[in-house]
């Protein structure tokens, strides 16, 4: 941000804008952008602080096991974020022009994200130990549990990111920033407590916090629109996620113990 301001000042455009008395225009540009800047800080906190807590409470060996799972799910997270970014312009146009079209897009995006995410998480969780051994070797087999948990963390995070994209399309970035702040406040104590159980404990803690974040975003989303989605629709999506995680736990228990 500072680099952009320096470039604007160097080109003289910044001074010209001030001389023209365009302060209201600047305010109109900065006010919608500041919540997204805050969201960037919040995202950095929730992604980096858990690793620091893990290093402090469990040691660097557990950080290595955690990073095995993190490396496997990071490309999937980047793919989903890119897809949601591409979805944003269409959602933004539909939010201002056609309520019915916007609702259809939201329903389809939620169903697709939950359905594909659940199927992918089940597949990777069932083969988590084999994937870890194939890519990293037998020495990292203990990271299989963390991989399975981080898969579901990625699914829940993807749904939360989709809700964030929808809220941004509705011009609800302030409410989005408030929900994310509440999520961070609730998550930090859980991160600290879960990190004491090592990489696997922290991965489970991330699943818990991402579920809390999803609830926060869903409540804000339901209150932000003129016509919220039916409760049965949200309950159906939640049931798919809960059943999927239950199946994963049943598959993982013989391997974990």
**Interval 197-233: pLDDT, tens:** 888 899 899 999 999 988 988 888 888 765 778 889 8
Does 7 reside within a domain? no
Parent domain of 37? 20-256
As given in the structure block, the two tokens for residue 143 are: 């990271």
Does 90 reside within a domain? yes
As given in the structure block, the two tokens for residue 141 are: 């087999």
pLDDT in tens, 54-83: 999 988 888 888 888 778 777 777 777 677
Does 236 reside within a domain? yes
pLDDT in tens, 108-142: 888 988 888 888 888 888 888 888 888 788 878 87
Does 8 reside within a domain? no
- Say what the pTM is: 0.80
Distance CA 149, CA 172 (A): 31
Does 97 reside within a domain? yes
Number of domains in the chain: 1
CB 181 within 8 A of CB 238: no
CB 160 within 8 A of CB 213: yes
Does 101 reside within a domain? yes
Angle at 248 between CA 245 and CA 249, to 5 degrees: 90
Torsional class of 98: left (φ above 0), alpha (ψ -120 to 50), beta (otherwise): beta
Does 2 reside within a domain? no
């Amino acid at each position: 941000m500072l680099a952009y301001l320096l470039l604007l000042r160097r080109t003289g455009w910044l001074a010209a804008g001030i001389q023209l008395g365009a302060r209201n225009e600047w305010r109109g540009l900065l006010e919608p952008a500041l919540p997204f800047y805050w969201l960037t800080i919040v995202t950095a906190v929730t992604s980096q602080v858990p690793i620091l807590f893990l290093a402090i409470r469990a040691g660097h060996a557990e950080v290595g096991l955690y990073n095995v799972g993190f490396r496997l799910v990071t490309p999937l997270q980047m793919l989903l974020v890119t897809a949601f970014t591409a979805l944003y312009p269409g959602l933004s146009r539909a939010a201002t022009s056609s309520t019915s079209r916007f609702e259809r897009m939201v329903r389809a995006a939620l169903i697709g994200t939950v359905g594909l995410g659940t199927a992918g998480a089940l597949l990777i969780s069932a083969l988590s130990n084999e994937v870890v051994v194939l890519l990293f070797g037998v020495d990292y087999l203990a990271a299989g549990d963390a991989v399975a948990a981080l898969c579901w963390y990625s699914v829940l995070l993807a749904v939360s990111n989709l809700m964030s994209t929808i809220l941004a399309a509705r011009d609800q970035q302030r409410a989005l920033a408030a929900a994310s702040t509440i999520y961070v406040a609730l998550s930090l104590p859980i991160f600290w407590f879960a990190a004491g159980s090592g990489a696997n404990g922290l991965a489970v803690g991330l699943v818990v916090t991402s579920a809390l974040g999803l609830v926060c975003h869903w409540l804000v989303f339901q209150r932000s629109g003129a016509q919220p989605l039916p409760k049965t629709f949200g309950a159906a999506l939640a049931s798919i996620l809960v059943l999927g995680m239950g199946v994963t736990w049943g598959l993982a228990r013989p391997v974990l113990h």
